[in-house]
Amino acid sequence: MIYYFSFRVIQNNIGDMINGLGLGLFIAVISLFFGIILGLIAAFAAVSSNRALNNIATWYTAFFRNTPLLVLIYIAYFGLPEVGIMMERNASFIFTLSFYAGAYMTEVFRAGLQAIPKGIIEAGQTIGLNRFHICWNIQLPIMFRYVLPSMSNYLISLFKDTSLAASITVPELTYFARKLNVETFRVFEAWLTAAFLYIVTCYLMAYLLRKLERKLRIEW
Amino acid sequence: MLRKIAFSLLVVLLVGIFTISVFAAPEKSKLQTVLDRGYLIVGTGSVNVPWHFMDEKGELVGFDVEMARILAIGLFNDPTKVKFVEQSPDARIPNLLTDKVDIVIQFMTISANRAQQVSFSIPYYTEGIGLILPAGGKYKNYEEMVAAKKNGKTITIAMLQNVDAAENVQTILKGAVDALYETQGLVYQAINSGRADAGAVDLSSILWLASKEPEKYLDSGFSFSPQLYGAAMRPDDQIWINFVNTVFEVSMCGNQYKLYNDAYAKWFGVELPAPKIGKPAMYR
């Protein structure tokens, strides 16, 4: 059987798809931002000498890294309202994705913190810097430049994960591709266009992030 | 030398293609394929009462399942000679076009748009869209929702993402926010979790749920939009299409009418009369 392509339906709906793409990018960036904050807190807890903090960090990363993202999305969106916590759909998805991203960032930051040469921290202590200033002025700037490649890769991965938001009616790109598919039954056109937009966006993100990495790389 | 070899290979390839296309046996009809296989493969869903859902024993049951078994009787005189492929609504056409299933019987609305991609059987049911409410929700009926909307309240109506779904929500209640989900199951989850004030679903499902679970669901009393349900098949096989239509026709209006009537009574609670003798029932 021959399939007859007709991209006219894409022409009529490309505006919605591009808007959806923009929303997905926004969600990915915001979620990574909150994920970084959560990841930093959990990473410091993981390397702390306090056993209780270590355990909390371990349980947090174990739960979010071992539960499929779609399951987490449904728990937050359909489950939390049953116990009185109702968030708007976009907020619910960002909330879920932030905690998910935070769990991955915890491991990235933990490795980054442990990679900082001890001598640099001792040098900070020698010149009289307190714990906060050592962390803020020495550890964090070095750690971020170490882990920038991992963070960049994860941002791209997180952007692709935003496609799951369609399952809770967040109007991003996959949602509109599926809407187009069920309304016009142009299966190949809808999904090939969505795939093309994801590929181009990810490629552009990778290119820009690589330039940033080269600029900020530490030359010892 | 290389160019000569390449040219020779091209000629051989073209002759081969021509030979195969001229002398190849005509493609077998799906009817023969199914008969040779010994069982029918039907694409359907598993989360929509009373059409296709899992009963307490974990078996797939429902009116669509009954229509599939009627077809199996027509093929093999055995209602068990059918294998079901559970699929989501947006996989109905792709699974059909890629031959994963022989036929789709999954409360599929017959529409001109869809008929550009697939062929439909004669209709086997006329459905309507109704509004289901959570029993402990803010509104007890449709009139209360309309009044609340007039007073400026935001009303969210969940619905399956489908042809004209967004427009249907506006027809039900102008200005309502639509929440269009991938599966009917998620529509019910949205109602149960308070994500939606009401769900626009099939009237048959509402009547079923309101009678089986009155502590969870209410019929709002609103319904509209008659739509025909048909089975979908690939459009390039007229022999198979004709066969399916014959089986359905005979089961609804012919000597096999008891099969259809019994299924109808079981899943919709309505006893249909036997077809009248004389002019065929479908032309009255």
| pLDDT tens readout for residues B64-94 | 999 999 999 999 999 999 999 999 888 999 8
Order the strands of the B52-54 sheet from edge to edge: B47-48, B52-54, B60-61
Predicted confidence (pLDDT) at residue A1 exceeds the cutoff of 60: no
User: Does residue A4 fall inside a structural domain?
Assistant: no
What's the confidence (pLDDT) of residue B261? 95
**What CATH superfamily classification does B30-126+228-283 receive?**
Periplasmic binding protein-like II (3.40.190.10)
The Cα B160–Cα B89 span in angstroms is 9
The nearest CA of chain B is from the CA of A192 a distance in Å of 14
Q: Which of A77, A89, A182 sits opposite B90 (nearest CB)?
A: A182
- Bigger pLDDT: A209 vs B8: A209
Determine contact: A3 vs chain B, CB below 8 A: yes
Per the CB < 8 A criterion, the answer to whether B169 and B224 are in contact is: no
Torsion region of B10: left, alpha or beta (phi above 0 gives left; psi -120 to 50 gives alpha): alpha
CB–CB contact A187 B94 (8 Å) = yes
Beta bridge partners of B25: none
Predicted confidence (pLDDT) at residue B24 exceeds the cutoff of 60: no
- Dump pLDDT digits (tens) for A132-167: 888 888 888 888 888 888 989 999 999 999 999 999
Distances (CA, A) of B76 to A206, B30, B80, B119, B249: 58, 14, 9, 23, 17
Prediction ipTM score: 0.79
Q: Which of A78, A169, A181 sits opposite B90 (nearest CB)?
A: A181
Of all residues in chain A, the percent with pLDDT exceeding 70 is 98
Predicted confidence (pLDDT) at residue A107 exceeds the cutoff of 60: yes
Determine contact: B164 vs chain A, CB below 8 A: yes
pTM exceeding 0.95: no
What's the confidence (pLDDT) of residue A109? 93
Domain B127-227: state its class: alpha beta
User: Does residue A110 fall inside a structural domain?
Assistant: yes
Chain A residues touching residue B109 (CB < 8 angstroms): none
Q: Pull the structure tokens for residue B236.
A: 């390039």
3-state SS class at B255? coil
What are the start and end residues of each CATH 3.40.190.10 domain in chain B? Answer: 30-126+228-283, 127-227
User: Does residue A8 fall inside a structural domain?
Assistant: no
What's the confidence (pLDDT) of residue B19? 60
What's the confidence (pLDDT) of residue A218? 67
- Dump pLDDT digits (tens) for A91-103: 999 999 999 999 9
Residue type for position B261 = N
10 Å Cβ neighbour count for A1? 10
Q: What is the DSSP string of A84-122?
A: T----HHHHHHHHHHHHHHHHHHHHHHHHHHHS-HHHHH
User: Does residue A161 fall inside a structural domain?
Assistant: yes
The Cα A158–Cα A5 span in angstroms is 31
The Cα B249–Cα B10 span in angstroms is 52
- Dump pLDDT digits (tens) for B243-272: 999 999 999 999 999 999 999 999 988 899
The Cα B138–Cα B155 span in angstroms is 10
Determine contact: B29 vs chain A, CB below 8 A: no
- Bigger pLDDT: B1 vs A110: A110
> What is the mean pLDDT of the segment spanning A73-102?
95
CATH code, domain carrying A80:
1.10.3720.10
Q: Domain count of chain A?
A: 1
Question: Which residues, including other chains, have CB under 8 Å from residue B138's CB and lie 6 or more apart?
Answer: B144, B148, B197
The Cα B185–Cα B94 span in angstroms is 21
What's the confidence (pLDDT) of residue A215? 85
3-state SS class at B107? strand
Residue A31 lies in domain: 14-216
Please give the mean pLDDT across all residues of chain B: 91
Of all residues in chain B, the percent with pLDDT exceeding 70 is 96
Determine contact: B135 vs chain A, CB below 8 A: no
Q: Supply the DSSP symbol for B254.
A: S
